[in-house]
Amino acid sequence: MTSDILTKIDGRIGHISLNRPAAIHALDLSMCREMIAALQGWASDDAVDAIIIDHAEGRGFCAGGDIRMLAESGAKDGTEARQFFFTEYQLNHLLFEYPKPVAAFMDGITMGGGVGISQPAAFRIATENTRFAMPETGIGLFPDVGGGWYLPRLEGRVGQYLALTGARLDGAECLALGLATHYLPSSNLDEAKERIAKGPGRISGILGDLSSSAPLANITDHIDKINRHFASDDYEDILASLESDDGEWAAATRDTLGTKSPQTCKVALRQLKEGAAMASFAEQMKQEYAIGYHVVVKHDFIEGVRALIIDKDNAPQWNPATPADMTDAMLDEIFAPLPKSEEWHPL
C-alpha cells in the first residue's frame, strides 16, 4: 500500500511529498501525523540542512483538508473533526517555528490546508499552475490554518477581500502580494529541487537563478477598489459600499458575497481583526482552534459541504440567512475560549 506522505533524505535536505492525488493531496489526520514525525526527526538531524515540501504527482499541491470527513464528524459530535484540527494546527505551528529553512512548492491548486503548510515556509514557490485560495466562506467554515495571521498582514484590505470572497489567485498574483517569494516556470522545478538538495545553503540564489518574470498580476488593478469597499470590519458596511458602486467589479463582488455564509463572513472579519493584533502565531492558532471547535458542529458547515461537495446543487440554505440575523451574541459564542482542558497547544 502506497503511503499518502512520501519522505526521504535527498542530499542535505529532508523531502516531503504529498501523495494523495485522487483527493488533490487533501490532508487527513494520518498525513498530518506523518509530516510532524518527519519534521521532528529532521529538526535535530545534522545530516539535514533544509526541507522541501511538494506533491508527488497530479494537478495540485494541496486542495485543503478532508472536508467530507469533517462534515460527517460535525453532524455527529465533532470529535474526529476537532482531533484533525488540533493536529493540523500543531503541524502549521511546527512549520512556522521550524529551525531549518523550508521551501514549499505551490505548483497547482493550493487551498485551505495547502495554504497552512506553505505560508509558514521561508521560500514559497509559485508557478504558472498555481491557484491559491481560502474558499471556506462558501462552505460555512472559516479561513483557518493561520489565515487570521497571514491575511490581515497583506497589503491594505486584500486579506479581508480574499477571506470573504474566496477569490482565486494565480502564481503572478501570489508573488505580487507576497504570498509567494519566487515565481518559477514549472519546467524548472525539478532542477531547483536537485540543486537545493546539493546546496541547501544557497536556496535563495538557486531560486533566483531559475526564476522567470511573472506575468502582470491582475489583482493589482483592483487594489484601490478592494481597499475602499472592504475598509470596514463590519460586514454590512462592506455590502453597502459595494451596493453603492454601479461598476461591474463591485456588482460581481457583491453577487459573489451573496452566495457565502453570512455566519462565516462575520467570523472571518472578526478573526482577521483580532489576528492582526495577536502577539504570536501560537496565540492565533489557539483562537482558531476554539473557533473551529464551535463552527464544525454548526448548521452552516454541514449544509455548505452538502450543497457544494456532496449533492453539488450549489444552493446552500444558510442559517442565519442574512448578515442582520447573525448577531454579535452568536459571534461571541463562536469565539468563546475553551475550558483549559480542551484548549489547543503547540507540540
343 backbone dihedrals φ, ψ, rounded to 5°: -65, 150
The answer to whether residue 247 is catalytic is no
Note whether residue 178 is domain-resident.
yes
Note whether residue 225 is domain-resident.
yes
Please pick, among 54, 136, 300, 303, the residue that the annotation labels catalytic.
136
Nearest C-alpha neighbor of 179 from the set 207, 206, 155: 155
251-265, pLDDT tens digit by residue?
999 999 999 999 999
Residue 27 clears pLDDT 70, i.e. is over it: yes
Residue 274 is part of a domain; what is its CATH number? Answer: 3.90.226.10
Note whether residue 186 is domain-resident.
yes
Question: What nine digits make up the cell of 86?
Answer: 488540533
How many residues are listed for the chain in this entry?
Answer: 347
Note whether residue 118 is domain-resident.
yes
> Given this model, what pLDDT does residue 162 score?
98
Rg from Cα positions in the chain? 20
Half-sphere exposure of 333 (CA within 13 A, CB side): 10
Please pick, among 14, 60, 64, 65, the residue that the annotation labels catalytic.
65
Note whether residue 127 is domain-resident.
yes
Provide CB contacts within 8 A for 14, sequence distance 6+. Answer: 7, 8, 38, 39, 42, 45, 48, 50, 51, 52
Nearest C-alpha neighbor of 37 from the set 5, 79, 61: 5
State which residues form the domain around 221.
Answer: 5-342
Q: What's the structural domain count of the chain?
A: 1
Provide CB contacts within 8 A for 299, sequence distance 6+. Answer: 140, 319
Please pick, among 88, 144, 170, 288, the residue that the annotation labels catalytic.
144
Provide CB contacts within 8 A for 132, sequence distance 6+. Answer: 106, 110, 111, 115, 126, 168, 169, 170, 171, 173, 174, 179
Give the distance from CA 100 to its chain's centroid. Answer: 22
* Rounded average pLDDT over 273-278: 98
Give the distance from CA 39 to its chain's centroid. Answer: 20
Q: How far is residue 209 from each of residues 72, 101, 189, 203, 206, measured CA to CA in Å? A: 47, 18, 12, 10, 5
Give the distance from CA 129 to its chain's centroid. Answer: 17
Q: Are 47 and 86 in contact (CB under 8 A)?
A: no
Question: Counting beta carbons within 10 angstroms of the beta carbon of residue 103, is it exposed (0 to 12), middle (13 to 18) or buried (19 or more)?
Answer: buried
Residue 332 clears pLDDT 70, i.e. is over it: yes
* Helix or strand (DSSP H, E) at 126: strand 123-126
71-110, pLDDT tens digit by residue?
899 899 999 999 999 999 999 999 999 999 999 999 999 9
Note whether residue 347 is domain-resident.
no
Euclidean distance between CA atoms 314 and 104, whole angstroms: 32
Average pLDDT of the chain, as a whole number: 96
The answer to whether residue 144 is catalytic is yes
> Given this model, what pLDDT does residue 1 score?
63
Q: In sequence order, what DSSP letters do the residues of 7-61 get, joined into one string? A: EEEETTEEEEEE--GGGTT-B-HHHHHHHHHHHHHHHT-TT--EEEEEESSSSEE
Question: Counting beta carbons within 10 angstroms of the beta carbon of residue 327, is it exposed (0 to 12), middle (13 to 18) or buried (19 or more)?
Answer: exposed
The answer to whether residue 248 is catalytic is no
The answer to whether residue 136 is catalytic is yes
Q: Is the dihedral of CA 284, 62, 55, 29 positive or negative?
A: positive
207-235, pLDDT tens digit by residue?
999 999 999 999 999 999 999 999 999 99
Please pick, among 64, 113, 116, 304, the residue that the annotation labels catalytic.
113
Provide CB contacts within 8 A for 31, sequence distance 6+. Answer: 4, 5, 18, 20
